[in-house]
Amino acid sequence: MKNAETILITGNAGFIGFHLSKTLIESGHNVVGIDNLNDYYDVNIKLNRLKELGVDAKRGSSICNSKSHKNFNFIKLDIQDKKSLIDLFKKYKFSHVCNLAAQAGVRYSLENPDTYIQSNIQGFLNILEVCRKHSVKHLCYASSSSVYGLNDKMPLSTKDAVDHPISLYAASKKSNEMMAHAYSHLFNIPTTGLRFFTVYGPWGRPDMALFKFTKAILNDETIEIYNNGKLIRDFTYIDDIVDGISRVLFNPPKGVSKESINLSNSTAPWKIYNIGNSNPVDLMDFIAAIEQKLNKKAIKEFLPMQAGDVVKTYADTNELQKKFSYKPKTNVKKGIDNFINWYINYYEK
CA dist list (Å): 43 to 37, 98, 206: 6, 22, 11
**DSSP characters over 51-68:** HHTT--GGG--SEEE-SS
| CA distance to 142, 147, 202, per residue, from 157 (Å) | 16, 11, 28
Active site residue 326: no
Residue 34 in 3-state DSSP? strand
Cβ-count burial 238-267 (b if 16+ within 10 Å, e if not): bbbbbbbbbbbbeebbebbeeeeeeebbbe
Secondary structure element (H or E) that encloses residue 289, with its range: helix 283-294
Q: At what angle do helices 283-294 and 332-346 cross, to 10 degrees?
A: 50
Catalytic, out of 108, 141, 148, 169: 169
Alpha carbon distance 288, 49 (integer Å):
29
CA distances 77 to 21, 40, 63, 181, 296, Å, are: 16, 16, 9, 26, 42
The catalytic residues are 169
